[in-house]
Amino acid sequence: MSKTKSEKLINEKGLRVDGRKFDELRPIKIEVGTLERANGSAYIEWGKNKILAAVYGPREVHPRHLALPDRTLFRCRYHMAPFSTEERKNPAPSRREIELSKVIREAVEPSIFTELFPRTGIDVFIEVLESEGGTRCAGITATSLALADAGIPLKDLIVACAAGKVDGQIVLDLDEVEDQKGQADLPVAISLRTGEITLLQMDGIMSAEEYEKALNLAIEGCGRVHEMQREALKKKYAMEEEGAEKEGEDEVTSE
Amino acid sequence: MSDSYEVPISIKMKRIGELIVQDKRLDGRGLLDYREIKVETGMIEKANGSALVSLGNTKILTGVKVETGTPFPDTPEEGVLTVNAELVPLASPSFEAGPPREESIELARVVDRGIRESKALDSKKLCIVPGKLVFIVFVDIYVLDHDGNLFDASALASMLALTTAKMREFEVKDGAIVYKDGFVPLPINNHAFEVTMAKIGDKLIVDPSLEEESAVDTQITIAVDDEGNICATQKSKIGVFKPTEIVEAVKIAQTKAAEIREKVLGGL
C-alpha cells in the first residue's frame, strides 16, 4: 500500500481508474455448487478475482487428537495458485496466506453452529485462481455460500467487502492498483442479520472520521454483495415459485 | 489452535466475566487501564537497537539489525523492513520450538503493518545505490514471558528499538558503500503505537492479561501514529464486534496511544 501517490487514481469527473464511481462495486458473479466431489462449494468472480471455495465435512478429524469434545474443529486454508499473480507465486504457503487463513477462519466460524457436530472437523479450502485485490473478501463471501451448499446449519451468511482511501477519497471495493497505490484498505466481514462484524483489518493511514466513514461504506457494500449471495443460493436451491419471499430488494447489482 | 494451549480455569473465567459487568477487573485495574509499562533500551550491544518492554508480567525483547542487501524490484529506491516474531519456548508452556505458527506470523505482521503504514521508518533514506544496494532493517521480536497482549508489547518494543537504533555512518563512493567511524540514528519520521482492546460481554477492556484473554469474546488491535491517525487494525480471535464498538475502540486507541507516546518517548 501507499508507495507513491504521483499517479491520479481518481479523475476530474470523480471516476476511478476502471471507471467506477466512489461507491461502486466491481462486477460480481457467484455460482453455488460448482464442484462435484466437495460437500459444498462456490465460485466467485469479483472483478478479475476468480476464487473457488470448497467445504469438506463434517467428517472425521485428522490427526485425531485435534478433535474437540464439544464442537466441530473448523479449519480454513486460503491459498493462491502460482499463476494467480503478476509474478509467479511460490506455491508454498506464504506468511500472508497463513495470516489470511487465520482471519478468514475467525470471520466465518461465528456463523456456524459448531456445537452441533462435536468430535468432527469441517475443512474449508479457498483457492485463488486469479487475483486482483480484495481476495480475502471475495473468499469469505464464497466460503459462506460453500458452507450453506454443504448443508451446514448457519446462523447467517457471512459477507465481506472492503472500503478504503484513494486519492484522499473514501471509496468502496479497492482493486489491485488502488490497493497498492491508495492510502488505506479496510476489509470488513459482517453478519448482516445481527450487524456483527466478524473480520476487520486495516492498513494504510486514515483519520478517525475517515475510518468511520470507510467502515460504514464497507458495510453498505456488504449489503449489496449479500443480495447477490442470496440470489446465487436461490438460483441453485429455490423451487419454481420463488417470487413469494422477495421482500424489498430494490436493487440487485450487476452480473 | 491457540485457545486450546492455555488451560483456563473456568471458575476464574466466570469471575472475570462477573467483575467486568461491574467495571472491575481481577487484578484491580480499571477497564481502560494498562498494566505497568516498563521500558529499557540498548541492552544488546551487538544489535543496532534493542528494547525490553514489560507490560505487567509480559516481557518482550526486540532487537534491530541493519544489514545491506538488494531492494525489491518494485521499490528500487527504498530500504527494506522485515519484522519477525519468535514465540520462544521459554516464554510459556504453550509455546513449542519449531517453524513459526500462525500466531507468531500474525503477531509479526500486525506489528509490521503499524510501523510500515505509519511510515515510521523513512525507507527512502535507506537506499544506498538505487536498484542495487539498500539497507535491510531486521526487527526481531522475542517473546520472553507471555502474560497476554503480545501485540501491544511487541509493537512498543519494536518501535523503541527502532527509535533508539544506531547505524554506522556511511558514504557512497563509485557505487559502493564506505563506512565511516561515527554512528547515526535510523531515519525515524513517525511512531506507531498499538492498542489492543478485548470485548467481554458488551464491555471493552484495554490490555487484556493472559487470564483475561482466555475469557474474552474477541479482540481488536488498532495502531495509531503521532498525528492520531489510524494506521493499522486487526480483529483477532473468533467473536464479533458491533460497528458502534469499533468506533468506540478507535477513540479509546487514540487516547491510549497518546498516553503511551508521552510516557515512553518522553524518557528517551
Contact present, A147 and A124 (Cβ < 8 Å) = yes
What is the tens place of the pLDDT at every residue in B218-248?
999 999 999 999 999 999 999 999 999 999 9
Amino acid identity, residue A19?
G
The residue assigned the cell 469441517 is A122
Nearest chain B residue to A106 by CA distance is B238
Mean pLDDT of B157-161: 98
Min distance A35 CA to chain B CA atoms (Å): 28
User: What was the pLDDT predicted at A2?
Assistant: 47
ipTM metric: 0.80
User: What was the pLDDT predicted at B11?
Assistant: 85
Q: Is A203 on the interface with B (CB under 8 A)?
A: yes
Mean pLDDT of chain B: 93
Min distance A76 CA to chain B CA atoms (Å): 12
Question: Which residue ranges make up each domain of chain A?
Answer: 28-234
Residues of chain B contacting A, Cβ within 8 Å: 1, 4, 74-75, 100, 102, 105-106, 108-109, 113, 116-118, 220, 225, 228-243, 246-247, 250-251, 254
Q: In whole angstroms, how far apart are CA A120 and each of A69, A73, A207?
A: 9, 6, 44
Mean pLDDT of B129-151: 96
User: What was the pLDDT predicted at A59?
Assistant: 96
What is the tens place of the pLDDT at every residue in B71-80?
999 999 999 9
At B74 the three-state DSSP class reads: coil
User: What was the pLDDT predicted at B175?
Assistant: 84
Nearest alpha-carbon partner for A45 in A123, A179, A135, A176: A135
Q: Give the span between the Cα atoms of A53 and A77, in whole angstroms.
A: 10
Burial pattern B187-224, b for ≥16 Cβ within 10 A else e, equals bbebbbbbbbbbbbeebbbbbbbbbbbbbbbbbbbbbb
For residue B1, is pLDDT > 50? no
Query: DSSP label at B226?
Result: T
What is the tens place of the pLDDT at every residue in B173-200?
988 899 999 999 999 999 999 999 999 9
Contact present, B20 and B31 (Cβ < 8 Å) = yes
Mean pLDDT of B247-268: 93
User: What was the pLDDT predicted at B96?
Assistant: 85
Reading chain A (255 residues) residue by residue, the pLDDT tens digits are: 544 445 789 999 999 999 999 999 999 999 999 999 999 999 999 999 999 999 999 999 999 999 999 999 999 999 999 999 999 999 999 999 999 999 999 999 999 999 999 999 999 999 999 999 999 999 999 999 999 999 999 999 999 999 999 999 999 999 999 999 999 999 999 999 999 999 999 999 999 999 999 999 999 999 999 999 999 999 999 865 555 555 444 444 554
Q: Give the span between the Cα atoms of A223 and A130, in whole angstroms.
A: 24
Go through the domains of chain B in sequence order and give each one's CATH number: 20-265 (3.30.230.70)
Q: Is A67 on the interface with B (CB under 8 A)?
A: no
User: What was the pLDDT predicted at B117?
Assistant: 97
The residue assigned the cell 480499571 is B30
Mean pLDDT of B9-13: 83
What is the tens place of the pLDDT at every residue in B83-128?
999 999 899 988 988 888 999 999 999 999 999 999 999 999 999 9
Q: In whole angstroms, how far apart are CA B171 and each of B162, B174, B175?
A: 21, 10, 10
Higher pLDDT, B261 or B2: B261
Burial class of residue A208 in the structure, from the number of CB atoms within 10 Å of its CB (0-12 exposed, 13-18 middle, 19+ buried): middle
pLDDT range class, residue B33, cuts 50, 70, 90: very high
Query: DSSP label at A195?
Result: T
Contact present, B141 and B157 (Cβ < 8 Å) = yes
Q: Give backbone dihedrals phi and psi of B239, rounded to 5 degrees, phi first.
A: 120, 170
For residue B2, is pLDDT > 50? no
At B61 the three-state DSSP class reads: strand
Domain A28-234 part of CATH 3.30.230.70:
yes
Point out the residue among B229, B239, B243 whose CB comes nearest to the CB of A215. B243
